[in-house]
Amino acid sequence: MFESEQNKFSDDEKKMTFSEMVKFLVLSILIVLPIKYFVAQPFIVSGQSMDNTFHNGQYLIVDRISYRFAEPQRGDVIVFRYPRDPSKYFIKRVIALPRETIEIKDNEVTIFNDKFSEGFKLKEPYIKSWDKNSPYIKEKLGENEYFVMGDNRDNSSDSRVWGVLSRNRITGRVLLRLFPFNKIDYLPGKQEDVNETKSEI
């Protein structure tokens, strides 16, 4: 069978092609790894603790850089290393901030801080269900400590179970939801109305 010269690669061309491929792979690694470890990181939701805000199998991008310049805020959805097993990542919502006191009573959350010494109750429209009676909790947070909970309060292992979350365990906040495609969103689950709004106690 006749084979045209156009379909043939010389040894030099093959070497150049292989060389370019290696350069491309090295360049990709040099670009992707810093982005993954310092800028953004993919995360797949596992479990039901954040229903209905996030569901099992959803694909998220976690912003790793913002908290280098600012502190986590109440209402942020964050990904962090599980305090009892740092090899695992959890996703929860920030409920109480450093130096605040949190009280959980009759399935209601009250926050005490310098601005609201008498406390204010959180409005939490994101909660899927909270039918099970949570035990009474009142805890003063120290420097760099956060109290986090899942939106599905009846099915979430969170600060009510294993205690406060240290700042150094936080990986970042949820920046994007990329899958499923009909749920694509920027800062998904972000709630502004949980912040510093006084209500009757």
Task: Please answer whether residues 105 and 136 qualify as being in contact, where contact means their C-beta atoms are separated by less than 8 angstroms.
Answer: yes
Q: What is the pLDDT of residues 14-32, one digit of tens each?
A: 445 766 666 555 554 444 4
> What dihedral do alpha carbons 10, 11, 13, 18 form, nearest 10°?
140
Task: Show Cβ contacts of residue 86 under 8 Å, excluding neighbours closer than 6 positions.
Answer: 169
The model's pTM is 0.78
**How many Cα atoms sit within 13 Å of 32 on the Cβ side?**
7
Rounded Cα gap, residues 39 and 70, in angstroms:
14
Of 85, 150, 137, nearest to 108 by C-alpha is 137
Strands of 34-144, DSSP E: 40-44, 59-63, 77-81, 89-96, 101-105, 108-112, 120-121, 137-140
Q: What is the pLDDT of residues 121-167, one digit of tens each?
A: 999 999 988 988 888 999 999 999 999 999 999 999 999 999 999 99
Task: Tell how strand 170-179 and strand 77-81 pair up.
Answer: antiparallel
Q: Dihedrals φ, ψ of 72, to 5°?
A: -60, 145
Task: Show Cβ contacts of residue 126 under 8 Å, excluding neighbours closer than 6 positions.
Answer: 52, 53, 93, 151, 189, 191
Which positions are annotated as active-site residues?
Answer: 49, 92
What is the chain's mean pLDDT, rounded?
83
**Domains within the chain, CATH numbers bracketed:** 40-186 (2.10.109.10)
Q: What is the pLDDT of residues 59-101, one digit of tens each?
A: 999 999 999 999 999 999 999 999 999 999 999 999 999 999 9
Residue 24 has what pLDDT?
Answer: 54
Residue 99 has what pLDDT?
Answer: 98
CA 120, distance to chain mean position in Å, is 25
